[in-house]
């Protein structure tokens, strides 16, 4: 099964995108068709080669002006609305004069023909091909109906306002798309390739592995590579969301999307563009809104029944109102026509996917890659969260912070020597941190009667002395509550303070979840005493230790339920099975890590756990904007529908309920970007 991806041009309506997607999915040659309104992309799978003309024919059965292309740069997609706006302005001016009845009548007829011929032809073609009614048919019926019931000028005004509204609506959609594009504009379109002593500017896509490129001050690094000459500071904020500059020099790896801040460097290419970090990130963001959230799916279903329901109500209003009241048939038909103008669900259908797209784009700017609208939706509703320990909550390395000596007949150097002799026989991470205290070679032959005491420490004989190194249990009279103590011949000689490598951001994020009443768990393969100590220090609710990857998977299963959303945070390598199974799998430090991106639903591009808090904030605000848009759109439409039944709403208000409300919801959606800059 081969996967195809094309650009779809002139796609300005989310409801139309849904219709195209449904229509193409009914074609036996095409599988898993997704028409992404936000990115103007169409993706599908097919067992045989599908010519682009075949797809275009199918697409244009639904939307005649919409077409599919491979490369958007090869065409000019500018739309010229100046003629439409000029005609509208002239007609408005002419109708304002007091001509004779016959002249006015002919001018109105000309106006109807000029403004309605295109929607009328489009509506007829759609009806013939698909046996259905689209937005153009609704506006045509409404305007012709207004003419018939002697509301001729109002009919013209409606189509003029509708057309101008659609132009503004398209402009607003394109502005939103451009805002997101600017947020994620991390690609360098060109590269300075070095050929002998000359430099040539070439497209980024033409670079090959082992090419040597020159990165000047202020330029983005076009593809991943290794510095072979020079040193500089680079800005990785477009990848990680972190503003701190990174010093790089010869033999350091640099990732595409980073910006060279200081000096010219020469870089040897290690990956072609399609395999580079920047390409993977851009593809991930672009594809993210293909995975629809429950809200989007529900709205899509609502859109399918919304228009037919309003049409049925319009017919009932036209027929029944004169029977049950003193309203004439002419007036009831006029009121029914206002229903038709309101019946397009664009405001509902457009604002939801655009909101999720803004949320995903904004998150990427913060160094948080979210692989689907559904995961962005889930984030704000997490009820439980599970953390891996090593590499997630901790750095995975221990360090000796301090040695407190109580028997000063021993020097610090002697104590370090005694400790290192015994710990040289242990593989425990703490033992390794003690071994780093000196580079002096250890003679382990001096050690006798070495024994490890599980959960406590080690004991051995050295230089005719009996040594014990371990927890408080190693000596009855330990004077400090530190992790490690040195006991020689039954006397407490020294205490060693160990930095267990807990990340500062771990304290902050666990505290945040505690405030939000979200239950926290830690799953680790580490020993009981280490796991419990770290968990206690952080304030984690439940701790599971000495676990294999399969154990983590089974324990995670026990936490799940129909009412809970359970997230799992891991390093993206050892925790792949649970990351894939989780409601939300979140990988840490994913910069340049293919395994992290592949196995998880959300990737934090640095090891900063507080980015989770930012992601949840964006999720909640996105959902807040979606609710605002839906409540506003549905309320306005409902109120104007009721007013129109009782004769208090004209077609002008109906146009506002359609295009005006759509425009306002799109503009409101842009607040997601502004709020989280």
Beta bridge partners of 405: 494
Computed over its alpha carbons, how large is the radius of gyration of the chain?
A: 34
Picking from 605, 631, 652, the residue at the C-terminal end of a domain is 605
Q: Which helix (H) or strand (E) covers residue 246, if one does?
A: strand 246-248
388 is a catalytic site residue: yes
The model's pTM is: 0.76
Of these residues, 388, 500, 575, 658, which one is catalytic? 388
**At CA 19, angle to CA 38 and CA 138, rounded to 5?**
105
DSSP helix, strand, coil percent of the chain (3-state; round to 5): 50, 20, 30
| Range with lowest mean pLDDT among 16-25, 302-311, 323-332, 619-628 | 302-311
Q: Where is pLDDT greater, at 318 or 39?
A: 318
151 and 201 inside one domain: no
The three-point CA angle 342-41-45 to 5° equals: 115
Tokens of 498: 């160990």
Nearest to 498 by CA among 534, 552, 453, 526: 534
d(CA 554, CA 665): 44
Domain span holding position 210: 190-278
* SS3 category, 466: strand
Residue with tokens 């010519």: 51
Cα 316 from chain centre: 44
Residue 418 sits in the same domain as residue 546: no
Question: Do 154 and 294 fall within a single domain?
Answer: yes
Name, in order, each residue with C-beta under 8 angstroms of 518's C-beta and a sequence gap of 6 or more: 382, 383, 384, 385
> Coil, strand or helix: which one is 182?
helix
Q: What pLDDT is recorded for position 595?
A: 61
* Residue 31 included in any domain: yes
| Contact residues for 492 (Cβ-Cβ < 8 A; gap 6+) | 406, 407, 475, 477, 478, 479, 485, 486
Top mean pLDDT of 120-124, 158-162, 602-606, 621-625 is at 621-625
Do 533 and 560 sit in the same domain of this protein? yes
> What is the band of 593 on the pLDDT scale with cuts at 50, 70, 90?
low
Over residues 103-154, the pLDDT tens digits come to 777 777 887 787 788 788 877 877 777 676 777 777 888 888 888 887 777 7
d(CA 271, CA 204): 11
% of the chain at pLDDT higher than 70: 89
Predicted pLDDT of residue 509: 95
Q: What is the 3-state secondary structure (H, E, C) of 312-329?
A: HHHHHHHHHHHHHCCCCH
pLDDT at 674: 83
Please check whether residues 206 and 257 belong to one and the same domain: yes
Q: Which pLDDT band holds residue 476 (cuts at 50, 70, 90)?
A: low
Q: Is residue 418 part of a domain?
A: yes
Residue 283 lies in a domain: no
User: What is the predicted pLDDT for the residue at 73?
Assistant: 59
pLDDT tens-digit readout, 236-280: 887 877 777 889 999 999 988 899 998 999 999 999 998 888 888
Q: How many Å apart are CA 554 and CA 205, to the nearest integer?
A: 45
User: Is the confidence at residue 101, as pLDDT, over 70?
Assistant: no
Cβ atoms 10, 67 nearer than 8 A? yes
Domain co-membership, 263 together with 294: no
Report the DSSP pairing between strands 519-523 and 542-544: parallel
Cα 431 to Cα 481: distance, rounded to the nearest angstrom: 19
Sequence-ordered list of residues with C-beta below 8 angstroms from that of 394, at least 6 positions apart, any chain: 500, 501, 502, 503, 506, 534
Q: How sure is the predictor about 520, in pLDDT bands with cuts at 50, 70 and 90?
A: very high
Angle at 403 between CA 397 and CA 407, to 5 degrees: 150
Indicate which CATH number applies to the domain containing 560: 3.40.50.1000
* DSSP 3-state of 220: strand
Contact 264, 219 (CB under 8 A): no
CA 552 to each of CA 74, 556, 597: distance values in angstroms, whole numbers, following the listed order? 51, 6, 20
Token digits of residue 615: 């992601």
What integer pLDDT is reported at residue 401 of this predicted model? 84
In three-state secondary structure terms, 544 is strand
Write phi, then psi, for 476 (nearest 5 degrees).
Answer: -75, -25
Domains contained in the chain, number: 5
Residue keyed to tokens 């792949």: 576
Give 336's pLDDT tier (boundaries 50, 70, 90): confident
pLDDT at residue 625 in the model: 94
Residue 555 pLDDT grade (very low, low, confident, very high; cuts 50, 70, 90): very high
Q: Which of 45-54, 341-350, 609-618 has the highest mean pLDDT?
A: 609-618
If asked whether residues 93 and 151 sit together in one domain, one would say yes
Return the DSSP state at 440. Answer: P
d(CA 156, CA 193): 60
Q: What are the counts of helices (DSSP H) followed by strands (DSSP E) for the chain? A: 23, 26
Whether residue 528 lies inside any domain: the answer is yes
Is 90 exceeded by the pLDDT of residue 653? no
d(CA 323, CA 332): 10
Backbone angles phi, psi at 235, to 5 degrees: -100, 115
Mark whether 382 and 513 lie in a shared domain: yes
Question: Which of 258, 278, 298 is where one domain is finished?
Answer: 278
Q: Which of 213, 224, 223, 226 is nearest to 253 (CA)?
A: 226
The arithmetic mean of pLDDT across residues 622-632, rounded, is 93
Q: Is residue 456 part of a domain?
A: yes
Picking from 486, 482, 481, the residue whose alpha carbon sits closest to that of residue 458 is 486
Verify that 580 and 519 share a domain, yes or no: yes
Where does a domain end: 220, 253, 278?
A: 278
pLDDT classification of 491: cutoffs 50, 70, 90: confident
Q: Clarify whether residues 232 and 164 are in a common domain.
A: no
pLDDT surpassing 90 at residue 386: yes
pLDDT value of position 483: 66
Query: Based on the domain organization, do 163 and 103 belong to the same domain?
Result: yes
- pLDDT tens digits, one per residue of 22-74: 889 988 899 999 888 878 888 889 888 888 889 988 888 888 778 888 876 55
167 and 299 belong to one structural domain: yes
CA 262 vs CA 239, 246, 249, 661: distances in Å: 18, 11, 12, 48
Domain CATH for 26: 3.30.70.100
Domain membership flag for residue 612 = no
Please report which helix (H) or strand (E) contains residue 520, including its range. strand 519-523
- pLDDT beyond 70 at 16: yes
Nearest-angstrom CA–CA distance, 611 and 562? 27
Phi and psi, residue 480, nearest 5°: -140, 145
* Residue 108 within any structural domain of the chain: yes
Total residue count of the chain as it appears in this document: 677
Q: Tell me the pLDDT tens digit for each residue of 165-220.
A: 777 777 777 777 777 677 667 788 899 998 887 889 998 989 999 999 999 999 99
Mean pLDDT of the chain: 83
Q: How confident is the model at residue 677 (pLDDT cuts 50, 70, 90)?
A: low
Q: At a CB cut-off of 8 Å and minimum separation 6, what does 556 contact?
A: 386, 523, 566, 568, 578, 581, 582
Cα separation, 299 vs 345, whole angstroms: 10
Q: What is the pLDDT of residue 231?
A: 93
Angle at 360 between CA 358 and CA 363, to 5 degrees: 105
CA 1 and chain centroid, separation: 27
Does 63 reside within a domain?
no
Mean pLDDT, residues 400-422: 89
pLDDT digits (tens, 9 = 90+) for 346-383: 767 788 888 888 888 888 888 888 888 889 999 999 99
Query: 82-91 long-range contacts, Cβ below 8 Å, gap at least 24?
Result: 84/163, 84/167, 85/164, 85/167, 87/114, 87/115, 88/115, 88/160, 88/163, 88/164, 91/115, 91/156, 91/160
3-state SS assignment for residue 14: helix
pLDDT grade for 481, boundaries at 50, 70 and 90:
low
What does the pLDDT average to over 458-485? 79
State residue 626's pLDDT score.
Answer: 92
**Residues contacting residue 15 through CB under 8 Å, at least 6 positions apart:** 135, 303, 344, 345, 346, 349, 350
Return the CATH number at 448.
3.40.1110.10
């Amino acid at each position: 099964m081969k996967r195809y991806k094309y650009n779809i041009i002139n796609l300005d309506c989310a409801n139309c995108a849904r219709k195209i997607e449904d229509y193409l999915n009914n074609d036996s040659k095409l599988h898993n068709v997704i028409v992404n309104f936000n990115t103007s992309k169409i993706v599908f799978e097919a067992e045989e080669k599908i010519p682009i003309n075949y797809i275009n024919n199918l697409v244009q059965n639904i939307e005649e002006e919409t077409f599919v292309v491979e490369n958007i740069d090869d065409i000019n997609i500018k739309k010229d609305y100046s003629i439409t706006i000029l005609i509208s302005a002239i007609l408005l001016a002419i109708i304002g004069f007091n001509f004779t009845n016959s002249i006015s009548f002919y001018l109105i007829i000309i106006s109807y023909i000029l403004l309605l011929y295109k929607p009328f032809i489009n509506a007829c073609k759609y009806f013939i091909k698909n046996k259905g009614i689209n937005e153009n048919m609704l506006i045509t019926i409404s305007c012709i109906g207004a003419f018939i019931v002697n509301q001729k000028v109002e009919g013209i005004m409606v189509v003029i306002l509708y057309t101008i509204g659609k132009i503004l609506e398209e402009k607003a959609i394109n502005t939103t798309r451009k805002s997101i594009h600017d947020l994620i504009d991390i690609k360098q379109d060109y590269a300075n390739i070095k050929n002998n002593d000359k430099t040539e500017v070439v497209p980024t896509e033409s670079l090959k592995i082992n090419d040597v490129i020159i990165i000047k001050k202020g330029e983005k690094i076009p593809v991943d590579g290794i510095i072979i000459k020079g040193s500089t500071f680079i800005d990785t904020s477009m990848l990680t969301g972190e503003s701190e500059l990174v010093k790089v020099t010869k033999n350091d790896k640099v990732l595409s999307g980073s910006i060279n801040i200081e000096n010219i460097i020469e870089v040897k290419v290690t990956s072609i563009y399609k395999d580079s970090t920047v390409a993977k990130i851009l593809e991930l963001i672009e594809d993210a809104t293909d995975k629809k959230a429950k809200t989007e799916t529900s709205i899509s279903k609502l859109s399918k029944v919304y228009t037919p329901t309003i049409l049925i109500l319009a017919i009932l209003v036209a027929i029944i109102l004169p029977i049950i009241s003193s309203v004439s048939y002419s007036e009831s038909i006029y009121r029914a026509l206002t229903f038709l103008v309101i019946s397009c669900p664009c405001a509902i259908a457009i604002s939801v996917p655009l909101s999720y797209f803004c949320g995903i784009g904004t998150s990427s700017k913060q160094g948080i890659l979210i692989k689907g609208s559904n995961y962005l939706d889930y984030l704000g509703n997490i009820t439980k969260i599970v953390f891996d320990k090593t590499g997630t909550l901790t750095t995975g390395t221990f360090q000796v912070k301090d040695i407190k000596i109580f028997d000063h007949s021993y020097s610090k150097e002697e104590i370090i020597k005694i400790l290192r002799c015994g710990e040289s026989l242990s593989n425990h991470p703490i033992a390794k941190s003690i071994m780093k205290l000196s580079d002096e070679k250890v003679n382990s032959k001096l050690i006798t009667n070495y024994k490890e005491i599980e959960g406590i420490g080690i004991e051995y004989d050295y230089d005719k002395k009996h040594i014990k190194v371990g927890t408080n249990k190693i000596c009855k009279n330990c004077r400090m509550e530190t992790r490690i103590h040195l006991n020689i011949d039954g006397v407490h000689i020294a205490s060693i303070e160990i930095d267990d490598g807990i990340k500062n951001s771990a304290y902050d994020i666990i505290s945040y979840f505690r405030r939000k009443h979200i239950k926290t768990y830690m799953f680790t393969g580490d020993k009981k005493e280490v796991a419990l100590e770290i968990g206690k220090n952080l304030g984690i609710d439940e701790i599971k230790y000495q676990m294999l990857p399969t154990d983590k998977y089974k324990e995670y299963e026990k936490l799940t339920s129909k009412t809970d959303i359970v997230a799992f945070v891991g390093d993206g390598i050892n925790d792949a099975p649970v990351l894939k199974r989780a409601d939300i799998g979140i990988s840490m430090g994913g910069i340049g890590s293919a395994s992290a991106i592949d196995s998880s639903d959300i990737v934090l591009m640095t090891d900063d756990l507080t980015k989770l808090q930012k992601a949840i904030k964006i999720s909640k605000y996105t959902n807040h904007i979606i609710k605002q848009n839906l409540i506003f759109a549905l309320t306005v439409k409902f109120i104007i529908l009721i007013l129109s039944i009782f004769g208090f709403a004209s077609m002008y208000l109906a146009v506002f309920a359609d295009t005006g409300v759509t425009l306002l919801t799109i503009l409101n959606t842009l607040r997601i970007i502004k709020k989280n800059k």
